[in-house]
Amino acid sequence: MSDVPSKSPGNNPGPPSNTDSQQPVNRRSLLIAGGVVAAGAAGYTGYPFMRHVAGGRSPVFIAGNQKYDGPLAKTIEDGLLAVGIKPHVFKDKRVLLKPNLVEPMRGSPQMTTHPAMVVACAEVFRNAGAFVSVGEAPGHMRDTEAALVEGRLGDALLDAKLPFADLNYEESQFLRNAGRISKLPGFYFPRSILEADLVVSMPKLKTHHWVGLTVSMKNLYGTLPGNRYGWPKNVLHHAGIPQTVVDINATLPPTIAVVDGIQCMEGDGPILGTAKEMGLVVIGADKLAVDSTCARIIGMEPSQVSYLQIAYEAGLGQMHDFLIRQVGERWQPLVSPFRILDRPHLRSLQTKEAGRLTS
């Protein structure tokens, strides 16, 4: 069997044409992604590294002492290989990087994924021969170009000649809800998501005032278009944030996590919190295992984070520490509890030691 599966017969749009790939990159072209809408999403089981999700111990890579001006591409490549993700498998395939640009402000870089992380990850997959693009549907901003400017990502993409897909406004297609945890019958996904052979969730590690923390799974709210779900995406909120987070992750094409945990956010996240320096990059094919490990690092008990527990019960990955194989650094010496809002629904998330240290 081939290492890389194709989508259903007749549905693979194939790589961009030479003409498309040689078009000059400007602000307008960054906001346009070409191609044909794929009719479905590739299943997890076709990718060798996705077998970790189905059973056994899921590997999670942690690198400490990381800086935005350091050798991030090398760190990301090492992390991918350590968890069984071989970038060369995606030669001539489409890889879409999905950062977090929820509501960027230049004075709050802890809010959004740092451009250096995005460019470094793109370099890794480009060097392996993949067709790489970046896409996001900012949840609080209708003007995506303004989000690119405020988040300092626009210039970085121009310099790297990386195309950007405005997922808020792309044509979209309805896929049935594969998770069936919420009552939503399905989701509209933008063209660039459905075309992708791999989606890389690139979140900023942050606290969240409703569900405790937001990492790679919650970041994928930003794959759903605002022109269908609004700003913010209240349709999803009303259906239940924990439930829809799980359903979206269950329905998406193959997705991995590359977490920006270098400069993080604590307190009133995901927008109004303050910066906390951690110097971490966390990587894995099992997003639940990645997010559970991140929760432990910031002093939260994963089983108390509602969407992580629901995802575990739904079989989307591993949550318990004994079912996660740490590669790179161990999480225990890196624990540094994040401050959270003093609200009843959040207090139970913290471990006793974390509550004592942040009180």
CATH code at position 254: 3.40.50.11440
Supply the mean pLDDT for the chain: 85
Domain-located, residue 144 = yes
Task: Convert the pLDDT of each residue in 147-175 to its tens digit.
Answer: 898 888 999 999 999 999 999 999 999 99
* pLDDT of 45: 39
C-alpha distances out from residue 17 to 30, 158, 160, 166, 261, Å: 17, 20, 19, 20, 36
Mean pLDDT of 208-214: 92
Domain-located, residue 14 = no
Expressed as residue numbers, the domain containing 194 is 51-358
> Is residue 27 a contact partner of residue 145, using CB atoms and an 8 Å limit?
yes
Domain-located, residue 44 = no
54-63, 64-73, 208-217: least confidently modelled range: 54-63
Domain-located, residue 202 = yes
Q: What is the pTM of this model?
A: 0.86
Domain-located, residue 13 = no
> Is residue 280 a contact partner of residue 66, using CB atoms and an 8 Å limit?
yes
Count of other CB atoms within 10 angstroms of residue 224: 24
Domain-located, residue 162 = yes
C-alpha distances out from residue 18 to 21, 135, 147, 163, Å: 5, 21, 29, 14
Domain-located, residue 46 = no
Query: How many domains is the chain partitioned into structurally?
Result: 1
Identity of the amino acid at 302: P
Whole-number Å distance between alpha carbons of 262 and 322: 26
Task: Name, in order, each residue with C-beta under 8 angstroms of 21's C-beta and a sequence gap of 6 or more.
Answer: 131
- Is the pLDDT at 282 greater than 50? The verdict is yes
**Three-state secondary structure readout of 44-91:** HHHCHHHHHHHCCCEEEEEECCCCCCCCHHHHHHHHHHHCCCCHHHHC
31-35, 147-151, 158-162, 295-299: least confidently modelled range: 31-35
Task: Convert the pLDDT of each residue in 238-266 to its tens digit.
Answer: 999 999 999 999 999 999 999 999 999 99
Domain-located, residue 43 = no
Under the banding of pLDDT at 50, 70 and 90, the label for residue 38 is very low
